[in-house]
Amino acid sequence: MFSSSTIFLLILLALGFIAKNQAILIAVYILLGIKLFKLEDRVFPFLEAKGMFIGVVIITVAVLVPIAAGEIGFADLASSFKSYYAWIAVLAGIFVAYVAKDGLTLLANEPHLTTALILGTILAVVFFQGIAVGPLIGAGIAYLAMRVVDSMVGLFS
């Protein structure tokens, strides 16, 4: 009746509903719609190849809107650096961007981990009132942790 991939998507839909995670709900609705209209052969390869890039572009545009709208200018940027909080924010931004880069590599090379990352995100939202920041930074942190564990395992073998 239903394929295992459809059942899996329905489970993710239910978890997304429980977690009130709109991003997961919308993503699953889109994927179920693609499957319903039997467009997988044409759409899935494109999304697999270009989806992360398109998502990063959309996020980048959203982050740059205040600059484009004139809400943030050079004067704001210069005055913000008088605070050590701004320097912490710059370093945090550099760190997460660097870590997310490795997350993109991990998701490209190990796509099955996406499900584990989404499950972890859903569990954190449901049980710990967490905020879903997306699988890319989660994958980056996972990649960093995997490298640390691999190097530590190498020390003891």
pLDDT of residue 152: 86
pLDDT of residue 31: 96
pLDDT of residue 88: 86
pLDDT of residue 42: 95
CA-based nearest residue to 49, from 132, 108, 121: 108
What are the mean pLDDT values of the chain's consecutive 10-residue runs (157 residues total)?
90 86 88 96 92 84 92 87 85 84 79 80 76 75 86 78
* 115, two tokens: 């499900």
CA-based nearest residue to 142, from 132, 114, 157: 114
Under a CB-based contact definition with an 8 Å cutoff, are residues 6 and 38 in contact?
no
Alpha helices in the chain (DSSP H): 4-19, 22-36, 40-68, 74-80, 84-109, 113-128, 135-156
Q: Which residue has the tokens 């920041």?
A: 133
